[in-house]
Structure 1
Amino acid sequence: MTDPVTRWRERAGSAVLLDGFHALKHALRFGAEILVAVTTDRRAALALAGELAPDVRDALDALLAEVPEGTYASFVPRPHPTAVAALAVRPSREAQLGVLARTPRTAPVVLLDDPRNLGNAGAVIRLAAGFGATGVVTTGTLDPWHPTVVRGGAGLHFATAVERVTAAELPPGPLFALDPEGDDLRGVKLPDDAVLAFGSERSGLSGELRARADHLLALPMRPQVSSYNLATSVAMTLYHWSATGGAFPVAEGGA
């Protein structure tokens, strides 16, 4: 078998970068295929796993290779405090679209319409995974598997379906679009098969998507406040779904 540095350099262009211990931890928990994992301090990384994620410690013990700090730093955009990084196989587009198209669904799909901020997209994916959403889809040019998005999502891309789609590939289900002119969210029960659409941070929903919506919904907001952060809006909406009958997942422990 080739050494970890060679394996990293051979696969870095096509694989998913898992930047930090928590991203690798979640990827392992949700079945990602890990190609190579490195750290600058193997003993410290395994101790962290023993403290925060004993369920994946044995898997990490088998995977982790120790490399010099300079080598690790060359693998990542900026060093993570945990000094851990890994590469994983990205799920195929066909498989992701298959999950998103499957019906009946037991949890909504989150649709981000032309998002611009990589960190926001990552936070939304983390939220969606936590609420047990079926998936997160994006329109526009942002790649939801960009390394910054995966870092913001803490590796939870592997816990839910994540893909960029065209308008023709939107998942089936009633489309509920968040819009300031919509009905108050608090008066609506969101179905499990809903597609929950959120506009971009700057310009909101596109005219095309707004016109396609089956329902327009508005979040409660104090007058003269312009808007919520995108991830906050998604969190409020998913919480409302879960609180009014949604199948919110039961926590099983783990950090």
Structure 2
Amino acid sequence: MTAETAESRWARHAADGVLLDGFHALKHALRFGARVPVALATDRRSALALAEELAPDLTGTLDALLWEVPGATLTALVPRAHPTGVAALALRDPAAVAPGDGAAPFVVLDNPRNLGNVGAVVRLAAGAGAGGVLTTGDLDPWHPAAVRAGAGLHFATQVARRQVTELPDGPLFAFDPEGADLRSVAVPDGAMLAFGSERHGLSAGMRARADRLVALPMRPQVSSYNLATSVAMALYHWMAAPR
């Protein structure tokens, strides 16, 4: 394929495609069933060698999928090209997100302000086997910066934006310093675990919607954990509980 053909294919899917920056994002998206209509590499041979080393299960798929383009072409198409020289577009599954349908909890981020944090939480949720991640507020959890921070693992779990009033009726445990110590709390099947924004904490609407306030154990005089750490602690508590 020529660079012009690759550019044309990219342009055709750019409006509805999710940008995958780098080899690892493409690897994870493919492993979890993402539809990838176009994938580019500035050095196809090096990208396939990386696949042979880190993802031999995908070598054949990538051999058929990757088109080589000049570095200038990739730079023109991708705002911040990844050091691996790989970029792709994937198509989102339009299936509805349905918290409460299974035992795994959903993580709810209440009006997050940092896209990198959103991506880090998606990565945690995917690794822990959570039901998915819901965000409230204005940030798009599928923004390229969030997908980049999530290493393509948006396709390994369910990710969507909802307003507080649109959250389902399942039990919602909101994390707040005034809540009960997490170590004394059992997370029920299908629960939602809500975390406030990095600066302002829980919104009034989320606090009112909560069925229970829960606090993370923390040494006195320490003001807070970062968002991803807080989510990791809560998900580990759920994972470690006997079933």
Instruction: State the TM-score bracket (shorter-chain normalisation).
Output: over 0.9
Conserved 8 A contact 1:171-1:195: no
Q: Which residue of 2 aligns with 1:7?
A: 9
Q: Which residue of 2 aligns with 1:37?
A: 39
Conserved 8 A contact 1:181-1:216: yes
Conserved 8 A contact 1:107-1:132: yes
Q: Which residue of 1 aligns with 2:103?
A: 106
Please give the alpha-carbon distance, in whole angstroms, between the structure 1 residues aligned to 2:167 and 2:190.
Answer: 13
Deviation >3 Å, runs of 4+? none
Pairwise CA distance, 1:101: 4.1
Matches within 5 A, 1:87-98: 87-92=89-94, 95-97=95-97
Query: Tell me, what secondary structure is at the counterpart of 2:61?
Result: helix
**C-alpha RMSD of matched pairs (Å):** 1.4
Conserved 8 A contact 1:119-1:149: yes
Please give the alpha-carbon distance, in whole angstroms, between the structure 2 residues aligned to 1:186 and 1:155.
Answer: 32
Match of 2:173 among 172, 176, 185: 176
Sequence identity (%): 67
Matches within 5 A, 1:65-144: 65-92=67-94, 95-97=95-97, 100-101=98-99, 103=101, 105-144=102-141
> Normalised by the size of structure 1, how large is the TM-score?
0.91
- How many residue pairs get aligned? The number is 241
CA deviation digits over 1:188-222, x for unaligned, max 9? 11123110000000100001111111110000111
CA deviation digits over 1:40-93, x for unaligned, max 9? 00000000000001111111111000000000111212121111000011222x
Conserved 8 A contact 2:174-2:194: yes
CA deviation digits over 1:220-247, x for unaligned, max 9? 111111111100000000000000136x
Verify: 1:56 aligned to 2:45, yes or no.
no
Query: Tell me, what secondary structure is at the counterpart of 1:232?
Result: helix
Matches within 5 A, 1:152-167: 152-167=149-164
Please give the alpha-carbon distance, in whole angstroms, between the structure 1 residues aligned to 2:173 and 2:23.
Answer: 36
Matches within 5 A, 1:178-193: 178-193=175-190
Verify: 1:28 aligned to 2:30, yes or no.
yes
Q: Which residue of 1 aligns with 2:222?
A: 225
> Normalised by the size of structure 2, how large is the TM-score?
0.96
Pairwise CA distance, 1:171: 3.2
Verify: 1:211 aligned to 2:208, yes or no.
yes
1:12 is matched by which residue type in structure 2?
A
Query: Tell me, what secondary structure is at the counterpart of 2:96?
Result: helix
Query: Tell me, what secondary structure is at the counterpart of 2:67?
Result: strand
Please give the alpha-carbon distance, in whole angstroms, between the structure 2 residues aligned to 1:129 and 1:213.
Answer: 24
Q: Which residue of 1 aligns with 2:142?
A: 145
1:47 is matched by which residue type in structure 2?
A
Q: Which residue of 2 aligns with 1:250?
A: none
Query: Tell me, what secondary structure is at the counterpart of 2:170?
Result: coil
Q: Which residue of 1 aligns with 2:198?
A: 201
Pairwise CA distance, 1:121: 0.2
Please give the alpha-carbon distance, in whole angstroms, between the structure 2 residues aligned to 1:29 and 1:16.
Answer: 16
1:10 is matched by which residue type in structure 2?
R
Please give the alpha-carbon distance, in whole angstroms, between the structure 2 residues aligned to 1:38 and 1:217.
Answer: 45
Pairwise CA distance, 1:14: 1.9
2:172 is matched by which residue type in structure 1?
L
Pairwise CA distance, 1:102: 5.6
Please give the alpha-carbon distance, in whole angstroms, between the structure 1 residues aligned to 2:78 and 2:30.
Answer: 19
